[in-house]
C-alpha cells in the first residue's frame, strides 16, 4: 500500500517529467494518474483501503473543482474553488458550510425547499440543513438579500467551508 507521502512524491515527479499518463498496480492497489496538457483536472484514483486523507473518487463524492496537478487533496481544491469565486463574484455574499455533511434543501424529501433562486432572505432565514451522523444543522442566510445561485445539489456531500449559496446583499 502506498503512503500518502509516496503518492505526493509520485505526483511531483510525474508533474516535472514529460510523462502524460501513469499507472501503478501492486497487490490490488491501483494508482492511475493522467496529465493533460492544459487546465483539465488531474484525477487520482486510489482503490482499496487508503489513508483517509487521500481523495477517493466515488459516486457520492462532491463534484471536483479544477485543481493544480500538485494538489490531490480535497481541502486544497476547495480553497482553490473558494478563491476563484471570490474573484468572479466579489459583491455577492457566500453562505458556506460549517461542517462536512449532507446538504438538504428541505426539512424532508416531500417538503418544499427552504429557498429558491430569486427568494428574498433575511439574516435569520433558514436556507438549508447540513446533516452529519444524525446531527442536523439549520443554516441561516447571515445577510438580508436575494438568493442568486444555489451551488450544490440536494443530497450532495459538502465539505467544511464549501460555498452553498450566493446571496446578493441588500
Partner 1 sequence: MQSETRKKLLELFSEAKGDFISGQKISEILGCSRTAVWKHIEDLRKEGFELEAVRRLGYRIVNTPDKVTANEIQLGLKTETLGRYIHFEEEVTSTQTIAQKLAYEGAKEGTLVVAEQQIAGRGRMARNWFSPKGTGIWMSLILRPPIPPQKAPHLTLLTAVAIAQAIQDVTGLVPDIKWPNDILINGKKCVGILTELQAEPDRIHSVIIGMGINVNQTVEQFPEDIRAIATSLAIEKGEKIKRAELVQEILFKIEMLYRQYLQHGFRPIKLLWEGYAISIGKEITARTLSGTLRGMALGITDEGVLMLEDADGNIHYIHSADIQL
Residues that bind partner 1 (CB under 8 A): 28, 47-50, 52, 56-60, 96, 98-102, 104, 107-109, 111, 131-138, 153-157, 160
Q: Judged by CB, which is closer to partner 1: 5, or 58? A: 58
Helix, coil or strand: residue 57: coil
Question: Within 10 A of 89 (CB to CB), how many other CB atoms are there?
Answer: 15
| Closest separation in Å from C-beta 128 to partner 1 | 13
Least Cα distance to 37 among 22, 55, 19 occurs for 19
**Sign of the C-alpha dihedral, residues 50, 53, 57, 59?**
positive
What minimum distance in Å lies between the beta carbon of 56 and partner 1? Answer: 5
Nearer to partner 1, 51 or 170 (CB): 51
Distance CA(94)–CA(160), nearest Å, equals 13
Shortest Cβ 74–partner 1 spacing (Å): 11
In whole angstroms, the minimum distance from the beta carbon of 41 to partner 1 comes to 19
CA dihedral of residues 105, 111, 117, 119 (deg, nearest 10): -120
Task: Report, in Å, the least distance between residue 96 CB and partner 1.
Answer: 7
C-beta closer to partner 1: residue 11 or 142: 142
Q: Which is nearer to partner 1, 86 or 153 (CB)?
A: 153
Nearer to partner 1, 57 or 117 (CB): 57
Torsional class of 76: left (φ above 0), alpha (ψ -120 to 50), beta (otherwise): alpha
Amino acid at each position: 500500500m502506498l503512503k500518502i507521502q509516496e503518492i505526493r512524491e509520485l505526483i511531483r515527479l510525474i508533474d516535472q517529467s514529460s510523462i502524460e499518463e501513469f499507472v501503478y498496480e501492486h497487490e490490488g492497489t491501483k494508482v492511475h494518474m493522467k496529465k493533460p496538457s492544459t487546465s483539465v483536472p488531474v484525477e487520482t484514483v486510489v482503490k482499496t483501503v487508503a489513508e483517509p486523507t487521500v481523495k477517493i473518487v466515488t459516486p457520492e463524492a462532491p463534484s471536483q473543482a479544477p485543481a493544480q496537478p500538485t494538489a490531490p487533496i480535497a481541502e486544497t481544491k476547495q480553497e482553490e474553488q473558494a478563491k476563484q469565486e471570490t474573484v468572479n463574484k466579489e459583491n455577492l455574499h457566500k453562505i458556506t458550510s460549517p461542517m462536512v455533511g449532507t446538504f438538504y434543501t428541505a426539512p424532508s424529501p416531500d417538503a418544499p425547499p427552504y429557498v429558491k433562486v430569486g427568494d428574498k432572505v433575511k439574516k435569520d432565514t433558514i436556507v438549508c440543513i447540513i446533516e452529519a451522523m444524525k446531527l442536523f444543522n439549520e443554516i441561516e442566510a447571515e445577510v438580508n438579500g436575494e438568493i442568486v445561485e444555489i451551488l450544490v445539489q440536494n443530497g450532495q456531500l459538502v465539505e467544511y467551508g464549501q460555498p452553498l449559496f450566493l446571496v446578493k446583499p441588500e
